[in-house]
Amino acid sequence: MGKVLELPQINLHGTAATPAEAIDEAGRILVATGAVTAEYPRYMHDREVLVSTYMGNFLAIPHGTNEGKDTVLESALSFVRYDEPIDWGGNPVRFVVGIAGKDGGHMDVLSRIALIFSDEEQVDRLLVAETPEEVLDILGDVNA
Amino acid sequence: MTTSSVLAPPPAGSSKARVGVQKFGTFVSGMVLPNIAAFIAWGLITALFIQTGWLSLFHIDPVWVQQLGGWSTDPKVVNTGLVGPIITYLLPLLIANTGGRMVYGVRGGVIAVIATMGVIVGSGIPMFLGAMIVGPGAAWIIKQVDRIWEGKIRPGFEMLVDNFSGGIVGAALAVFAFFLIAPAVTGLSNALEGVVNWLVKVHLLPLASLFVEPGKILFLNNAINHGVFTPLGLIQSQQTGKSILFLIEANPGPGVGILLAYAVFGVGLLRASAPGAILIQFVGGIHEIYFPYVLAKPILVIAAIAGGATGVLTNVLFNSGLRSPASPGSIIAVIAAAPLSSLPGVLCSVVFAAAVSFLISAAFIRGSRKRDLAAIELSGDVALSNAVAANASNKGKDSRVGDLLGTGGLSAAPAAVKVETDQPIRTIVFACDAGMGSSAMGATVVRNKLKKAGLADVTVTNQAIANLTDDVDIVITQSQLTDRAKQKAPHAQHISVDNFMASPKYDDVVAEVRASQGA
């Protein structure tokens, strides 16, 4: 299993303007890594319909449903930052972290992201980060 | 065996009594609101299948309609129907079960239902009031009985002892309720009937509302209606072509006024569910739905009385009435049963009654608004205050019947929560749909906070709601999922959050864990 988050999976200027487009954008990145099959984004949309994946602190974490588990081949993340906040069911979202989790292998990563995003100083650093390298640096040992 | 004795002790201070009354109201509505689906089902069945129902009105009355409605005169047709048994047995038993569960879980619910059967068969009238007394009371008693030998039973015999002690206590309570509670409720109902009957005879009709409206709130409406107004009204109607008596209890005005006042000025769950209730009450004609709203704030009975009296007075002045009973008491049925000459008076009576009850309810609800909000905070009832917050943020959305049903469970939770909270908090579970993403993140954040606060001995895990079990102390979910989580873990304390990353409620959780461990 490769690293769950690598430079090509980070985009600091996403083009989506709506949650649905943002989920597509995240889904495309995940599919491109080969970690999920082309069907996975559909389950991400399903999950979003069920309950919003808005987490607070400008973060949304679209991911698939329980049902779509088979379309996940290995754990991977996507990280897209938006210049203009996306209206996520009434909440402003600047970061969309797409998640594909296989056998709980993504839990460590998710925990680290949770800790980083629950710390407002770190969120501010992510907001002004200028390069994907910088983001990886802040997310620190996400890949460890 | 009063229901209030099973509630958590109110906070110390001069407002004890008031908080007590409010808690009592919350408890009563907690017994009724989760079962409103059954009331609606009964209302639909009644509206369709009774002899004066919609189907028979349009001359669709094959034998099966008569059978379902229970009114066939053919001696060969089995004739129990759905309408009678649902209101006589099902609805009171559901209320008793919910009340019993709130006091003592599933076991309390079972004993509550057994005991309530005693009240039901002991009396000929629908036993809502009896169920509300006997249900929680029986659960409270079995809880005390269980305490006697708690921890003293040899391992392996718990099930045997539980089943037999429950069976014996349940049987005894059913007999006790049959002999004592049923006659008491029947007596109350008869007394009301007698007074109303007398008022009708001496032509003091508007005063009848003084007794009719409180009687309705105690779910004695059908008894009063069928015992007094329908028989007397039918005689009058045969003589003069109409009777005002059909409108005294069935006027939907007073109820809709109260519900409107809640919808506009209320707080929390009651406000959020009021619009749906209006539809069921005013158009559907199921008056029972607004009774819990009055029980939750008993002073509103004044609004109901004033509204009812206004309606009656209007009809007296207009000399208007209905040809036949408006059953169910829907605005549509009322209009359909009004002779053309009475229509203006009847419509005015509904509108004036609604206006008066709305104005008075609004004054009371607004007057106590701050106190209600404060009481919600004061009682430390996280689930309920969260519900209020969630409702406030949902203000834009239309409240539908579905909301009513969905939020019904919330009001049942507070009492259940209190039973468990004396013990230290050991397990906190974050639950989400798949247990894959959101819950894991929330769990991490809280785990981190607890660690920083130096609190050990608490496990924080995350799970899919489907896998949730009822042996955990606190369950944290996104607000949309809280109801589902409650079904899975009815005895846990439930907290809903909107912001998983940085909810202010996390600090409350940390404080609560600290307090519970310090105790």
pLDDT at res. B18: 59
By the 8 A CB rule, do B344 and B391 touch? Answer: no
Quick check: helix, strand or coil at residue B462? Answer: strand
At residue A48's C-alpha, the angle toward residues A121 and A138, to 5°, is 25
Q: Is B297 or B244 the better-scoring residue by pLDDT? A: B244
**How many angstroms from the chain centroid is the CA of residue B503?**
31
Per-residue tokens: A27: 């889904």
In chain A, which residue ranges form alpha helices assigned H by DSSP?
A: 19-33, 40-50, 107-117, 120-128, 132-139
Preceding peptide of B328 cis, ω within 30°: yes
Examine residue A119 and state whether it is found in any structural domain, yes or no. yes
Of B200, B432, B460, B489, which one is the catalytic site residue?
B432
Are B212 and B181 within one domain?
Answer: no
CA distance, residue A132 to nearest chain B CA (Å):
23
Q: What share of chain A has pLDDT > 90, as a percent?
A: 26
Largest CA distance in chain B: 82
Examine residue A1 and state whether it is found in any structural domain, yes or no. no
Q: Any CB–CB contact under 8 A between B395 and chain A?
A: no
The span from the CA of B507 to the CA of B490, in Å, is 23
Examine residue B494 and state whether it is found in any structural domain, yes or no. yes
Radius of gyration of chain B (CA): 25
By the 8 A CB rule, do B407 and B272 touch? Answer: yes
pLDDT class of B410 with cuts at 50, 70, 90: very low
pLDDT at res. B22: 60
- Contact residues, chain A to chain B, C-beta under 8 Å: 47, 50-53, 55-57, 59, 61, 63-66, 99, 101, 106-107, 110-111, 113-115, 117-118, 120
Over residues B382-399, mean pLDDT: 36
Examine residue B429 and state whether it is found in any structural domain, yes or no. yes
| Domain span holding position B305 | 203-379
pLDDT tens-digit series, residues A4-33: 888 889 999 999 999 999 999 999 999 999
Interchain CB distance below 8 Å, B432 and A51: yes
Examine residue A141 and state whether it is found in any structural domain, yes or no. no
- Residue A118: closest C-alpha in chain B: B501
- Residue B441: closest C-alpha in chain A: A114
pLDDT at res. A104: 64
Domain count for chain A? 1
Residue A63 among the catalytic residues = yes
pLDDT at res. B114: 96
Interchain CB distance below 8 Å, B448 and A118: yes
pLDDT tens-digit series, residues B128-178: 788 888 999 999 999 999 888 877 777 777 788 889 999 999 999 999 999
CA distance, residue B268 to nearest chain A CA (Å):
21
Q: Please report, as a single letter, which amino acid is at residue B498.
A: D
CA distance, residue A131 to nearest chain B CA (Å):
24
Among B6-15, B188-197, B237-246, B368-377, the range with the most confident prediction by mean pLDDT is B237-246
Are B367 and B465 within one domain?
Answer: no
Q: Does the pLDDT value for residue A140 go beyond 60?
A: yes
pLDDT at res. B437: 67
Residue position matching structure tokens 């106590």 = B368
Examine residue B86 and state whether it is found in any structural domain, yes or no. yes
CA distance, residue A12 to nearest chain B CA (Å):
21
pLDDT tens-digit series, residues A80-122: 999 999 998 888 899 999 988 876 666 666 777 887 887 888 8
Are B288 and B249 within one domain?
Answer: yes
User: Closest to A114 (Cβ–Cβ): which among B441, B464, B498?
Assistant: B441
A-contacting residues of B 451-480, CB under 8 Å?
464, 466, 478, 480
Are B184 and B216 within one domain?
Answer: no
Examine residue A142 and state whether it is found in any structural domain, yes or no. no
Are B223 and B366 within one domain?
Answer: yes
pLDDT tens-digit series, residues A123-132: 888 899 889 8
Per-residue tokens: B294: 């009055």
C-alpha to C-alpha distances, B388 to A26, B368, B375, nearest whole angstrom: 35, 16, 12
CA distance, residue A13 to nearest chain B CA (Å):
23
Are B424 and B346 within one domain?
Answer: no
Interchain CB distance below 8 Å, A56 and B499: yes
Quick check: helix, strand or coil at residue B403? Answer: helix
Are B236 and B334 within one domain?
Answer: yes
Q: What ipTM is given for this predicted complex?
A: 0.70
Examine residue A36 and state whether it is found in any structural domain, yes or no. yes
Burial B245-274 (b: 16+ CB within 10 A, else e): bbbbbbbbbbbbbbbbbbbebbbbbbbbbb
Are B125 and B221 within one domain?
Answer: no
Examine residue B180 and state whether it is found in any structural domain, yes or no. yes
The span from the CA of B192 to the CA of B23, in Å, is 27
Examine residue B75 and state whether it is found in any structural domain, yes or no. no
By the 8 A CB rule, do B360 and B299 touch? Answer: no
Q: Any CB–CB contact under 8 A between B434 and chain A?
A: yes
Domain count for chain B? 3
Interchain CB distance below 8 Å, A110 and B448: no
Are B119 and B152 within one domain?
Answer: yes
Interchain CB distance below 8 Å, A110 and B441: yes
The span from the CA of B271 to the CA of B292, in Å, is 13
Q: To the nearest whole number, what is the mean pLDDT of chain B?
A: 78
The span from the CA of A25 to the CA of A22, in Å, is 5
Are B160 and B213 within one domain?
Answer: no
Q: List B475's β-bridge partners, or say none.
A: B429, B494
Interchain CB distance below 8 Å, A47 and B434: yes
Last residue of a domain, one of B129, B160, B190: B190
CA distance, residue B442 to nearest chain A CA (Å):
7
Are B168 and B253 within one domain?
Answer: no
Q: Is B262 or B378 the better-scoring residue by pLDDT? A: B262
User: Closest to A47 (Cβ–Cβ): which among B433, B448, B498?
Assistant: B433
Examine residue A2 and state whether it is found in any structural domain, yes or no. no
Q: Please report, as a single letter, which amino acid is at residue B260.
A: L
Examine residue A140 and state whether it is found in any structural domain, yes or no. no
Q: Any CB–CB contact under 8 A between B269 and chain A?
A: no
pLDDT tens-digit series, residues B27-38: 776 787 677 778
By the 8 A CB rule, do B95 and B132 touch? Answer: yes
pLDDT at res. B436: 58
Last residue of a domain, one of B190, B221, B242: B190
Interchain CB distance below 8 Å, A56 and B500: yes
pLDDT class of B16 with cuts at 50, 70, 90: low
Neighbours of B513 (CB within 10 A): 24
pLDDT tens-digit series, residues B366-383: 988 877 776 555 443 333
Cite the beta strand spans of B32-170 per DSSP E: none
Q: Does the pLDDT value for residue B465 go beyond 50?
A: yes
| Domain span holding position A18 | 7-135
Among A111-120, B107-116, B192-201, the range with the most confident prediction by mean pLDDT is B107-116
Supply the DSSP string of B132-174, one letter for each residue. Answer: HHHHHHHHHHHHHHHHHTTT-SPTT-HHHHHHHHHHHHHHHHH
Identify the CATH number of the domain in which residue A82 sits. Answer: 3.40.930.10
Q: In 3-state terms, chain B is what percent helix, strand and coil (to 5)?
A: 70, 5, 25
Q: Which residues of A touch B480 (CB under 8 A)?
A: 51-52
Are B144 and B9 within one domain?
Answer: yes
Q: Is B453 or B404 the better-scoring residue by pLDDT? A: B453
Residue closest to B445 by CA, chosen among A118, A140, A120: A118
User: Closest to B500 (Cβ–Cβ): which among A47, A55, A107?
Assistant: A55
Q: Please report, as a single letter, which amino acid is at residue B479.
A: S
The span from the CA of A135 to the CA of B361, in Å, is 58
The span from the CA of B140 to the CA of B485, in Å, is 25
pLDDT tens-digit series, residues B46-104: 777 877 677 877 888 888 888 888 887 777 777 788 888 888 899 899 999 999 998 88
Q: Which residues of B touch A65 (CB under 8 A)?
A: 433-434
- Residue B506: closest C-alpha in chain A: A118
Examine residue B73 and state whether it is found in any structural domain, yes or no. no
User: Closest to A51 (Cβ–Cβ): which among B448, B481, B502?
Assistant: B481
Interchain CB distance below 8 Å, A115 and B445: yes
- Residue A75: closest C-alpha in chain B: B436
- Residue B444: closest C-alpha in chain A: A111
pLDDT at res. B31: 82
pLDDT at res. B202: 84
User: Closest to A56 (Cβ–Cβ): which among B435, B464, B502?
Assistant: B502
pLDDT tens-digit series, residues B329-341: 889 889 988 888 8
Examine residue A87 and state whether it is found in any structural domain, yes or no. yes
Examine residue B406 and state whether it is found in any structural domain, yes or no. no
Examine residue B398 and state whether it is found in any structural domain, yes or no. no
Q: Any CB–CB contact under 8 A between B438 and chain A?
A: yes
* Chain A interface mutation, best of B393, B444, B446, B477, highest count of A Cβ atoms under 10 Å: B444
pLDDT tens-digit series, residues B275-332: 878 887 888 777 877 887 887 788 899 999 999 999 999 999 999 999 888 877 889 8
Interchain CB distance below 8 Å, A118 and B503: no
Q: What share of chain B has pLDDT > 90, as a percent?
A: 23
Q: Is B265 or B18 the better-scoring residue by pLDDT? A: B265
pLDDT tens-digit series, residues B474-509: 888 877 778 888 877 877 888 888 777 767 778 888
